[in-house]
Structure 1
Amino acid sequence: MKKMLSLFALAAIAAVPAWAASQTVILSVPGMTCAACPFTVKKAISKVAGVNKVDVSYEKREAVVTFDDGKTSAQALMQATGNAGYPSTLKK
C-alpha cells in the first residue's frame, strides 16, 4: 500500500508542469516616448523567467507578451517594465 501511495504521489508531482498553460496578455506602456523605448521594454520583459515571446509597439504604446503562467504572471511582467522605468497596466 505504501508503494502504491508513493507512486501516486510521484505521478502527481510529475504532472504539475502539465497544468501550466501559455497565456498572452497586452500591456499598455504609455511612457514610451521615443522609438528607442521599445528596446528597453522588450529587454526588461524578456528577462522574466517563463516569457516565451514579446512584441513591443511604439506606435500603439503596448507590449504583447506570451508566457508560461506556471512560471510567471502578468503582475511580474508589469513589475519588470516598471523597474525599467516604464510603468505598465494590463489592457482589457
Structure 2
Amino acid sequence: MNKQELVDAVAAKTGDSKVATGEMIDAVIEAITGELTKGKTVQLIGFGSFSTGARAARVGRNPATGAEIQIPAAKTVKFTAGKAFKDAVKGA
C-alpha cells in the first residue's frame, strides 16, 4: 500500500474527502517527524513506538572490490510494534 492507497482507504472508512484525509495524514507524518528530529519518542498505544537511535562508525567492505571503507556514524529511526498490532498481524 502506498500513500495514496492509504488516503483512499482512510477516506472510505471515515467518510471524509480524500483531500482532507490526505492533509490529516500529512499532518500526522509531519508531527511524528518533528518530534523525532528533536530526539523525542512518539508512542501510539496499541500501534507502536517511533524513536531514534545511534549507529556507531564502523569499517565495511566494498562488495565490488573488497576494499575496506569507513562507514560514518549515523542517526537512525526505530519502530517497535505494540502488542495489539503484533497480535493483529499474527492472527491474520
**TM-score, with length taken from structure 2:** 0.23
**TM-score, with length taken from structure 1:** 0.23
Larger Rg: 2
Higher relative contact order (CA 8 A, sep 6+): 1
The structure with the largest strand share of the pair is 2
